[in-house]
Structures are given as C-alpha cells and as structure tokens.
Amino acid sequence: STPAAVTSALARATRIGLLVKGGAALEAIGAVRTMAFDKTGTLTEGKPKLASLITVGDMAEDQLLGIAAALETVTSHPLAKAVVTAAQDKNLDLPVITDARTIAGAGVEARIDGILYRVGAAKRLDIDPTPEIADWLTAQEGAGSTAVVVLKDNVVIGALALRDVARADAKAALAKLKALGINPVMLTGDAMLVAKRMAGELGMEYHAQLLPEDKLNVLAELRNDPDRKGPIAMVGDGINDAPALKSADVGIAIGGGTDIALEAADAVVVKDRLSDVVNLVKLSRATRRVIR
Ligand code: ADP
Ligand code: MG
C-alpha cells in the first residue's frame, strides 16, 4: 500500500498545481539526472513574432507577407500564427488559396491563381537559396530567429525571420536544476544556429534539426548512455510532444493540463512555469528521504 508520506505529498503537490500520477511517478522524478526539454513553447514562450523580412527582385514586402500569411492560415503552428498575426496587424488583404496542405516538420504549401507556393524551413523544403538569401538566413539564425523561406514554383521570392524569446524564468530554473545535479538538454526541430544560441544563453546541451521521430531516438540514446545515471525525463507541452513524453522514463507536461498531456505524462505542471519543474523535483526528493 502507498505510504502515508507519499499520499500526503501527492495531495500537497496537487494543491500547488503539480499533478503527479501516483507514488511511482513521484519517486522517479527525484531520481532523474538528465532532463530533456522541448524548445518551442516549453523553454520559450511559444509566441514568436515577425522580426524581419527580405524580398527578392521587385516583390513588395507586404505582398510577400500576404502570400506567406495566406498559406499559414491553414495551420495552428506557432510560427504560422506569427506570420498571420503580422499580416493582420498591417490590415493586409490575403490572396485566396487552394489545395493547401501542411508539410510535417517543414512548413505549408498551397496554390494562388493556380501557382504553387510554399513557406517553411529552407533545409526541410530541400531548396538551394541564392547566396544573398543564404547569408540573410544565416544572419537571422545567428541572431536567434527562426528563418523561413517563401517559394513560388520552387524559386525563393523572399524570407521571414520569426523570433521567439526564452521564458523569463528559464535561465534561473535551469540553474536551479543544475544545482540539484540535473543535466538539462534541449531537443528541437529548429535550426542548429537558433538552438545553439538559446542553449548557450540558458547554459544547456542541445540537439537541433530533429524531426519528431528523431526526438525519440535522442531520448533512447540518452537512456543508453552509460555516463548518464538515473531515469531520463522529458519536459514538453503535451500536445506536440506526447510521443516523447510517453517514451521518456518520466514525462512532465508543462502548462494547460489538457487531457492529452494528462494521458501522456507522468506529471503535469499546471501553470506553465519552469520554476514549478524545480519544485516538483524538490518535493519528490523530500518524499524519498522520508520513505527511505
Ligand atoms: P519544434 O521542434 O521547435 O517545435 P517543428 O518540428 O514544429 O519545430 O518545426 C521544425 C521547423 O520546420 C521549424 O523550425 C520551421 O523552420 C519549419 N516549420 C514547421 N512548420 C512551419 C510552418 N507552419 N511555417 C513555417 N515553418 C515551419
Ligand atoms: Mg514544439
């Protein structure tokens, strides 16, 4: 039967917005020494904004933004919302699109007046940008923005830089986790330079340009690494990251407390505060000390 100390710890956790799925999950959290974090929406606020834009040839900036926004209306990806919001803020009339579809982990495509347009990551869309565009993409990524290209019939007509900032409490929370002997690792689908910059800012390891299935492979590698002791935790938003939350030894969903998060994770941090992940570890360790 569950020791009284565990039952009362679980109840206390719930009162402060930490939903833990049971005694075994509570104990496992305290033993974690490697904690993997999704970047977008977990380490960052997940609300990117349009930071910069470049066009090729005689294309006007608003025309490019209108085309990109029209395509992005078909998905709720955080980057898509940023593009649509930027167009709305300028009261742009969006062109009519047909045959729209999302390209998983890469972007979106659709037709305007029968011509195929795409918006998304240059690397994922398998295009070779001109040196001018390539330099611009590199500069934007070096500055920490996610840069996406806009294509008309496979020709680059412009690019957009979208900037998402780290959560205000991210750096302090990761420092506290490290003080508790936990090694934080960033897992992201975003570009190498963007990940490198933010990981440097936050003081953590990083793995970038990961497709959703790559995240599972990295988690398996972390688990099989003999230098890493204890269970591997994954912290994510619970919607995009459900498979990774499930596949980690300990899945921690941050924010929302949606049904999907509750189902996939071992613990849910209800308020999307990274400092609450630290509180979760501390509570678990305190409970382990009492029952051992
Ligand atoms: P993350 O793991 O950081 O949440 P995703 O797997 O969702 O990233 O996307 C990976 C990359 O694919 C993004 O960084 C972006 O370059 C591109 N991408 C995906 N969806 C879109 C979209 N709707 N619009 C533009 N770019 C996109
Ligand atoms: Mg994500």
- Domains of the chain in sequence order: 4-45+167-291 (3.40.50.1000), 49-163 (3.40.1110.10)
Please give the backbone phi and psi of residue 122, each rounded to the nearest 5 degrees, phi first.
Answer: -55, -45
Q: Is the CB of 78 under 6 A from ligand 1?
A: no
The two structure tokens encoding residue 64: 């490019």
Q: How far apart are the CA of 174 and the centre of ligand 2, in A?
A: 19
The Cβ-side half-sphere exposure at 74, using a 13 Å CA radius, reads 20
Q: How far apart are the CA of 67 and the centre of ligand 1, in A?
A: 18
Run of H or E residues at 231 = none
Q: How buried is 224 (Cβ within 10 angstroms: 0-12 exposed, 13-18 middle, 19+ buried)?
A: exposed
> Which atom of ligand 1 sits closest to the CA of residue 106?
12
Q: Are 101 and 83 in contact (CB under 8 A)?
A: no
Q: What is the pLDDT of residue 139?
A: 96
Supply the mean pLDDT for the chain.
93
Higher pLDDT, 256 or 247: 247
Those residues whose beta carbon sits under 5 angstroms from the ion ligand 2 are 40, 240
105 DSSP assignment: T
Average pLDDT, integer, range 168-187: 97
**Torsion sign, CA atoms 246, 125, 85, 133:** positive
CA atoms of 176 and 131, how far apart (whole Å): 43
CA atoms of 100 and 262, how far apart (whole Å): 32
Q: What is the pLDDT of residue 93?
A: 96
Q: Alpha carbon of 91 to those of 78, 85, 88, 246, 258: distances in Å?
A: 20, 10, 5, 42, 33
Has residue 262 got a pLDDT over 80?
Answer: no
Q: What is the pLDDT of residue 46?
A: 84
Q: Is the CB of 283 under 6 A from ligand 1?
A: no
Encoded amino acid at 100, one letter: A
Q: How far apart are the CA of 240 and the centre of ligand 1, in A?
A: 11
Q: How far apart are the CA of 163 and the centre of ligand 1, in A?
A: 13
Shortest-distance ligand to the CA of residue 237? 2
pLDDT digits (tens, 9 = 90+) for 102-140: 998 889 999 999 999 999 999 889 888 899 999 999 999
Q: Is the CB of 146 under 6 A from ligand 1?
A: yes
Cα 216 versus chain centre, distance? 14
pLDDT digits (tens, 9 = 90+) for 204-245: 999 999 988 899 999 999 999 999 988 999 999 866 788 899
Question: Which among 262, 234, 166, 240 has a CA at the least distance from the CA of 28?
Answer: 234
CA atoms of 85 and 94, how far apart (whole Å): 12
Shortest-distance ligand to the CA of residue 240? 2
Q: Alpha carbon of 72 to those of 100, 117, 234: distances in Å?
A: 9, 11, 29
166 DSSP assignment: B
Q: Is the CB of 108 under 6 A from ligand 1?
A: yes
Q: Is the CB of 79 under 6 A from ligand 1?
A: yes
Q: Are 233 and 218 in contact (CB under 8 A)?
A: no
Question: For residue 258, what pLDDT band results from cuts at 50, 70 and 90?
Answer: low
Q: What is the pLDDT of residue 52?
A: 97
Average pLDDT, integer, range 79-98: 97
pLDDT digits (tens, 9 = 90+) for 52-72: 999 998 899 999 999 999 999
CA atoms of 49 and 162, how far apart (whole Å): 5
Angle 245-249-252 from CA coordinates, rounded to 5°: 40
Residue bearing the CA closest to ligand 1, atom 13: 190
Active site residue 164: no
